[in-house]
Chains A and B, each alone.
Chain A
């Protein structure tokens, strides 16, 4: 087990290094000279003096390899640099944006777990019933509808229509499309005050695809488990259907779903660009997208570094916990006979 963990931890290093180096070089492959863009913006032509100034300040005209070496030297001492726009420290930007993404991610995962697993479970138990068919259609739709389209729809139905300009429903029924409200949180992730109204729609949007997948996976996994020998044995022993499913079925069926959810947690934090943009939820995804547009290299790399780290570490934890839960994996055995 320990050797397994050590191997996995060591694997993180080349992963992170590879991902960020790739980004670094891509940045310079993007159209437009970064110094010119930073100096002048898209609308006008900056004077050569302005461009020279920018090159000077950020060393953008040094040979690429030198810049690359410089970058890694600084990053290893956790000096992520400062944003080209506004010269704020990237650490500060990180400190502001990461908690927002994490909170949104936590709620997306909660929705995924609760809704995804229960829906998958119900549709497996009641296979071929109306609820199963409805679930199949709903999950197919949820995973097919692009995230931003879903986001706009939800905004329209739950914020615009109930809002003061249309139906004018009571305050608690009006959800919000933008921002984070008071931004007040209990225990880091429980919204208090006005904040929950800003959280609901982005959380649902972000959770939509992964919830659909979790439901489908749970259904498939549960169906497989329902047909297993040990289930027949349990019934033969006289347990009620509830006990059979609850005690034996669900726990075994959940294993692959747990892995999926673990991976999703890493993904929702980082890959939430679309959702965060549609709802102006200024988390990591939103800020990275903005930084790419503005060619803000330090912000782009710094935040992506954190995302990549989070993703790999969470994956590691999921894999380790998987190994721990399932003795077959831990003991590194071949197929059970």
Chain B
């Protein structure tokens, strides 16, 4: 007779045996990709600039949600991809934010930057002897090539409107011209001369933006410029791609031909950086805690936890504004006739409560739109941003007494699933307390900004990280009438405001310029109350202080990867 031992016991025993075998086999201590200690293992110190050179870093904090759409600086419009692009390329100028309140524009690839008297012609001299990572020399024509490429109407990306600043740029983008007429290069004299379409004194800041990064001649050989992104892009930054990027990882290695930064560093510290894409901030943070990565993004609601257990960049005041735009053309909330209603709304909101409840007290409550870190910033510009429910109620009653009324609740739009639900809920509760009825109107994140651009805003959640540290990046790009149909979702339009902003952009005296911008913002915030500022952003990275010794985040939110250093 066959053995009748229960078959299930046999199977169970087999599984146990298998488990033991696997445990024995899989016991190699090689954790691929863990950050190793900095410094040379053999004890000899290489004659380099930085101490603590070497090592690898795994970043889980940059791409939490989606892999980047574009790594091509001509096409990219997101901050997360910009983190990588900034490591791959260096531009004409760089922002020195060692004093966060006073960022300075400093030449980087350019040797000198000289505007003429009325800031209509800018002359950049390019430093001699710089090369791309493949050895090709960087010349003024490298920039011209990149700019012609990025302004090609068949290829141009979201930021191509910046070429409108340059004479002939608008024509090129519209397909009416073959080249940008305002750009002249002299590769012998190493000069790049840019004539602007209108005087603009902050062009040096804009010229350092990713759209204006140089490109090697390899792009001329491409049949389709979209392929550049898919392959091994060649740049002139501190790092270069080890391999074409995948949806899971982007791997950078040190570029030995890097020319150095504005602080005199000529060698990036890390050997290798691996950017991993995670599905969402929570899973990324779990992986970080489990030791599978060295940096992460701080998930909502876990700020204090992250701050207590690890090191963060929460002390960096990132130049970004979190605010709610108001539809200027809305019959109920918009226009000069409804100013009292908007005043009531703005004063009814308890911004500190929002900061405490939603952000664990870590953000800075706004006193205006333009954040600290922008030259010209002044605290306390907004007259109606302090919590004052009595004044709010009085204003609301006065508005009603003038014959106005709310026939239906005011809709507050926001993109769902991105952490804004709680903010909007507090706002609605605050408004109800003074008698204003409002309701939440969540929209899909994918289509949110398209819907706003199509005019869907009533009161709509908005946010803006500075592209470059200039006042006009906020005033012009967000509230000028030129930006209607673009980033001016509230369709705000005030000729006096426009005029002040136009004047300020041309003003070459820094103090006078700042004063003009502040006057414009005063109109925006106090005369028209066209927007409701809520708070200003902070740095959002968390990193393991036992592995990483230095992890600087600038006020633009960019990580200076070349300075990141591991613990010895």
Contacts and interface: CB of A to CB of B under 8 A. Distances in A.
A and B are interacting partners: yes
B8 interface: yes
A32 B287 CA distance: 33
Interface in B1-44: 4-8, 11-12, 15, 22-23, 25-32
A32 B29 contact: no
B289 A163 contact: yes
B446 A85 contact: no
Interface stretch (B138-146, B150-158, B176-184, B501-509): B150-158
B297 interface: no
B46 to A, nearest CB: 28
Interface string B538-563: 00000010000000000000000000
B448 interface: yes
A62 interface: no
B49 interface: no
Interface string B255-282: 0000000000000000000001111101
A178 B283 contact: yes
Given A43-B78, A194-B30, A152 B286 contact: yes
Interface stretch (A11-19, A242-250, A264-272): A242-250
User: Quick one: which of A43, A114, A118, A174 has the most chain B CB within 10 A?
Assistant: A43
A197 interface: yes
B29 A42 contact: no
Nearest to B448: A42
Nearest to A118: B8
Nearest to A171: B29
A156 B285 CA distance: 11
Interface stretch (A134-142, A279-287, A325-333): A279-287
A277 B283 CA distance: 9
A171 B31 contact: yes
Interface string B299-316: 000000000010000000
A36 B450 contact: yes
Nearest to A180: B248
Interface in A153-177: 155-156, 159-160, 163-166, 171-172, 174, 176-177
Contacts, number: 160
Contact of B6 (A42, A50, A178, A246): A246
B26 A192 contact: yes
Interface string A40-59: 11111111011001000000
Nearest to A43: B449
Interface stretch (A63-71, A228-236, A289-297, A312-320): A289-297
Interface residues on A, range: 35 or more
B404 interface: no
Given A160-B286, A177-B290, A294-B66, A41 B77 contact: yes
A163 B291 contact: yes
B375 to A, nearest CB: 25
Interface residues of B, number: 60
A285 B30 CA distance: 29
Contacts of A172: 23, 26-27
Interface centre among A45, A87, A282, by most chain B C-beta atoms within 10 angstroms, is A45
A278 B279 contact: yes
Contacts of B290: 155, 159-160, 163, 165, 174, 176-177
B446 A295 contact: yes
A176 B6 contact: no
B450 A37 contact: yes
A85 B245 CA distance: 13
Interface string B234-260: 000000000000011000000000000
Nearest to A287: B247
4 closest A-B pairs by CB: A32-B447, A45-B453, A159-B290, A164-B291
Given A43-B158, A44-B158, A193-B26, 11 more contacts: A32-B451, A45-B485, A87-B230, A118-B12, A163-B290, A174-B290, A192-B25, A193-B28, A194-B32, A240-B4, A280-B278
20 contacts: A31-B447, A41-B158, A42-B450, A43-B77, A44-B77, A44-B158, A86-B247, A114-B12, A118-B11, A155-B283, A156-B286, A160-B286, A174-B291, A177-B290, A178-B278, A179-B292, A182-B32, A191-B26, A194-B26, A194-B30
